[in-house]
Chain A
Amino acid sequence: MFKDLSRREIWRYLGYKGSEPDETVCRIIEETIDLVENTVALRQISRRVTCKIQPDDTIFLGSMKVKSQSLAKHLQGCSEVILFAATLGTGIDRLLQRYNRLQVSRAAVLQAVSAAAVEEWCDQCQKQLEDGLEEGLYLRPRFSPGYGDLPLSFQRPLLDSLEAGKRIGIELTDTMLMTPTKSVSAIIGITSDKKSCSVHHCAACAKTDCPFRKEQE
């Protein structure tokens, strides 16, 4: 599942700005990828709903309503979206907990590998979702609560509407963080305009000083 995980992405998360890790660290990364592969309990859930955007940036997604300029911009031209959530499961968090207590160097690598893994898992899900669409329809990049001006508190209605707690075990803390921590929730626009799908997540985010921000390719 994760053997083709982008090593560059993992290095980037670990702070290797363009350079390559030495042999020892590379070996630890490979071991960690195997470990993640054997520990994950991959789950995902999605639901296709209608999307209406009003001129004042109020967006209706199925029965939900939210106001967000950046999401409105991101979903421009979409009359439908897919609501989506996915997780690597609680096993990774238990491992992270172990290494965080006992071997932080491993925790750092596990953190990076599992962050790359959850993105990879989402990409795989998204590809399947896209393949399942009618001819000529495509999916925009994932847009998550907390991006731009879409409030993090939108997690609650989004995950509730997916029954994400019951179905795939994603619950929220009081501060709107997802548990298991290696989880993603997102809104994915459905569009007939293929060109509009090539924007990377980073480009959609307002945090321009983020250390992990990718330059537009």
Chain B
Amino acid sequence: MNFFTELAGSRMLFFDGGMGTLLQDAGLKPGELPESWNITHPQDILSIHLQYLQAGADFVTTNTFGANALKLHGSPYTAQQLTTAGVQLARQAVQQSGKKAWVALDIGPTGKLLKPLGDLDFEAAVEAYKEMVKAGAEAGADCCIIETMSDTMEMKAAVLAVKECCQLPVFVTMVFDERGRLLTGADIPAAVAMLEGLGVDAIGLNCGFGPEQMLPLVDELQQCCSMPILVSPNAGLPVVVNGQTMYNCLPDDFAKVMAEIAKKGVWMVGGCCGTTPAHIAAEVAACQGISPKPLPVHHRTVVSSGCCAVVIGEDPVVIGERINPTGKKRFKQALRDGDIDYILNEGVHQLDAGADILDVNVGLPEIDEADMMKRVVSELQGIIDLPLQIDTTNMQAMEAALRIYNGKPMINSVNGKQEVMREVFPLAKKYGGVIVALTIDETGIPETAEGRLAIAEKIVRTAEEEYGISRENLIVDALTMTVSSSPDAAEVTLKALAMIRQKLGVKTILGVSNVSFGLPRREIINSAFFLLALQAGMDAAIINPASEPMMQSLFAYRVLAQKDAQCSKYIERYSQTTAAAPAPAVTAGSMTLEDAVRRGLKEETVQQTRAALETAGPLDIINDRLIPALDLVGKGFEKGTIFLPQLLMSAEAAGAAFDLLKEVMAASGTEQQKRGKVVIATVKGDIHDIGKNIVRVLLDNYGFEVIDLGKDVPPEVVVETVVRENVRLVGLSALMTTTVPSMEETIRQLRAVTDCKVMVGGAVLTQEYADQIGADYYAPDAMSSVHYALKILSPEE
């Protein structure tokens, strides 16, 4: 219980208005750090706070918007100094005014984009915010307002910083565009899902627009948000006059629309850019007599990614099960090798097949699961917009994933065991998430539906009463058992599912494929059981979305159960399937393996490789056919008759053949002799890595063991890897002149500890430049890096 829980909803509450324009009027120069005035011009800041208090503001927002260490380029003051001074001034103003008012510690964006889109590390953002929050809380702030946010990941960093440093209430307001999206892509339901999951105290909108333009966004917000809402628009849309940004919405016009917004059920209003004490005074006057409407309670079971939300309970939700090593040799190998690309590919295939959410399980006894889970989650969410389901029994892995997850995830899973609930629920409470609850406890899996219901009831009660996790955030799994060993297994599961839905009012989920274990043609049983479960009201299923019989059941069910208006989704998916795929120009028989590689046809190449395997061994195919074909393409590229896209398509086609041959060799116990290890990296500070990736694909083809360290790689990481892996060749890329020094530094550090060779490449590099920074070789294009690698690591060839 904090002051805000009692205060909110008892009456309309008012935030203050803009700070920037008033500071400019008081003489703040362009380019001058506004927060530095907390120290250099305290009287001006104090006076602005006092004016807002006199205008009727209940909350004074400290002048600390940009007072985080990441934004203070070259300021003589630290974040801590500016924050402390800012909070003290606001406190002083409240005291001088003699009014009952609260000090809100203002927290703005870091001014940097977080990884993987930018170069800011998530924990670095958390740390920067923590420095502010600690100083602010210590100086006596009553609450925190995280505002003008446009990135969900950054908001999460800020909210966690607040929650980990103090008990103060925290409000978050965001800038959406006219389509209701943040600059980094999240829509309103996605952002709200994440913030509600993180347990903030109020959610809202600020900046970006004037009050008029905010009306439709407020409506959209109210449709999904069950929290108090705060709205602080600008004084209209900005206009530039003589190079200065002006906001022309007059106080009375502003206030009129703000009253309309208040009447919709918004409990807190304020103002942002261009608003003045006169705007706030008018707003307070216009909202006289409006009392806050009770908050809507949406009872939504919802998860989100950094882009979109998925609601569970409206339309059946497909959770892709393929990112899981259980029973998959190739997947286990990928985990052992740290082959994240293999896992990402599984993700993209399921996305294309129609999954709504992806389950992520990377547990293998011999690997560091927490580290792997964190890597996989952060890489997956960098390239796929679907929400993820964090699937692990390892609590370190679970927390690592929940922490860096960009949104509100599914959590797989909790069960009726006290010990498990004690571990999982606190994490879910802190980070948010919809938790899969398995109907199993210390006594095992009950054989009856009633027994499973009883466990579900226990889990729901514990979550609600002991941890404050509402039942919307649980999804119960009544557990699919195998029909071949117990004939009534399916019936019991379906009965339990229906009872749990009805008696507890919670959403339900099943892992479907277990039902057919031990039977032939399992998809026949699976798809039929899937349909029965859908009919019984199952809200989400963990299945393989690439299994067509399963998806057929789903799409048919949607039509038959009136969940597919005008059968449109069904038609979209299946109307084209009778049409023939475009016929390949050359039929399988008439094209050679070499042709297929040269033309970059992946499927043809694999087919022809399979055919070749009938008469030749895998190593012979590699050495006598694939490599010569690649050489030919490479020569064409160097002569200028073949161009980059073709070169890469050929490399990818050959890559598919290599994958097939590797499997064949693994099965027979033979192994391809690797040509030696090459470390490649795009240097620190550089985030453009396509050149490096092109080199990776080609080196891979030629049988080198490529250790790709990615982009923005610190010199220490390159050195450490080279030493640890005993590597004799390093490839570094840099795109910009500004990052060449970081390339030079990497080479310098390498030279100090190893005599490995260094080749460099990238748009700005030249032979001269390469010599200057001490590289051994300048690679003007991708093929030249292959030649150099061959020369260094396979000189005998």
- A-side residues, CB < 8 A to B, are 14-17, 19, 21-22, 24-25, 28, 41, 43, 47-50, 62-64, 89-91, 93-94, 96-98, 100-105, 107-109, 111, 146, 152, 156-157, 160-161, 163, 165-166, 168-169, 171-177, 179-181, 209
Contact = CB atoms under 8 A, between A and B. Distances in A.
A105 B648 contact: yes
Nearest to A63: B30
A48 B240 contact: yes
Contacts of B117: 90, 93-94, 97, 179-180
A102 B687 contact: no
Interface in B158-210: 175, 177, 181, 183-185, 207
B685 A174 contact: yes
Interface string B645-657: 1101101100000
Contacts of A24: 599-600, 649
Interface string B236-263: 0000100101000000000000000000
Contact of B384 (A41, A47, A98): A98
B627 interface: no
A14 B640 contact: no
Given A24-B600, A90-B117, A108 B240 contact: no
A62 B243 contact: yes
Interface stretch (B47-55, B108-116, B474-482, B660-668): B108-116
14 contacts: A25-B645, A28-B645, A48-B243, A93-B117, A94-B383, A98-B348, A101-B340, A102-B344, A102-B348, A104-B690, A105-B649, A109-B645, A165-B111, A177-B685
Nearest to B345: A102
Interface string B354-381: 0000000000000000000000000100
Contacts of A41: 177, 181, 183, 185
A111 B644 CA distance: 12
B119 A174 contact: yes
B400 interface: no
Contacts of A173: 112-113, 118-119, 685, 687
A62 B185 CA distance: 33
B448 interface: no
Contact of B383 (A97, A104, A146): A97
A160 B738 CA distance: 20
A83 B542 CA distance: 52
B7 to A, nearest CB: 30
A177 B117 CA distance: 12
Contacts of A28: 645
B96 interface: no
B30 A101 contact: no
A101 B344 contact: yes
Interface in B381-421: 382-385
Contacts of A50: 243
Interface of B: 29-31, 73, 109, 111-113, 116-119, 148, 150, 175, 177, 181, 183-185, 207, 240, 243, 245, 340-341, 344-345, 348, 379, 382-385, 599-600, 640, 643-646, 648-649, 651-652, 685-690, 693-694, 696-697, 736-739, 742, 766
B341 A101 contact: yes
Nearest to B30: A63
Given A24-B600, A41-B185, A179-B118, 19 more contacts: A15-B643, A15-B644, A16-B643, A43-B183, A62-B30, A64-B30, A94-B185, A97-B382, A100-B693, A102-B341, A105-B651, A107-B690, A107-B693, A108-B690, A152-B736, A152-B738, A163-B245, A175-B686, A177-B738
Contacts of A152: 736-738
B73 A166 contact: no
Q: Which of B118, B185, B345 has the most CB of A within 10 A?
A: B118
A103 B766 CA distance: 28
A175 B736 contact: yes
A174 B736 CA distance: 13
B382 A156 contact: no
A22 B646 contact: yes
Contacts of A21: 643, 645
- Consensus secondary structure, chain A interface: mixed
A21 B119 CA distance: 35
A92 to B, nearest CB: 10
Contacts, number: 160
A89 B182 CA distance: 11
A161 B207 CA distance: 17
Contacts of A107: 690, 693
Nearest to B694: A104
A166 B109 CA distance: 9
Contacts of B696: 104
A212 to B, nearest CB: 9
Q: Which of B177, B185, B643, B697 has the most CB of A within 10 A?
A: B643
A161 B150 CA distance: 19
A157 B33 CA distance: 12
A109 B243 CA distance: 39
A181 B112 CA distance: 13
The residue in A14, A63, A168, A169 that gathers the most chain B C-beta atoms within 10 A of its C-beta is A169
Given A24-B600, A25-B646, A179 B113 contact: yes
B112 A171 contact: yes
B652 A105 contact: yes
Residue from the set A28, A41, A90, A107 with the largest chain B CB neighbour count within 10 Å: A90
Nearest to A18: B640
Nearest to B70: A174
Nearest to B348: A102
A75 to B, nearest CB: 16
A25 to B, nearest CB: 5
Nearest to A49: B243
Contacts of B148: 166
Contact of A176 (B29, B341, B646, B738): B738
B239 to A, nearest CB: 11
A15 B738 CA distance: 24
Contacts of A166: 109, 148, 150, 175, 207
A31 to B, nearest CB: 12
A17 B737 CA distance: 25
B240 A14 contact: no
A152 B649 CA distance: 35
Nearest to A22: B646
B737 A14 contact: no
A160 B31 contact: yes
Contacts of A109: 645
Contacts of B116: 97
A160 B687 CA distance: 21
B384 to A, nearest CB: 7
A70 to B, nearest CB: 15
**Which of the listed residues A19, A104, A107, A179 has the most CB atoms from chain B within 10 Å of its own CB?**
A104
Given A100-B693, A111-B690, A171 B118 contact: yes
B468 to A, nearest CB: 34
A168 B184 CA distance: 10
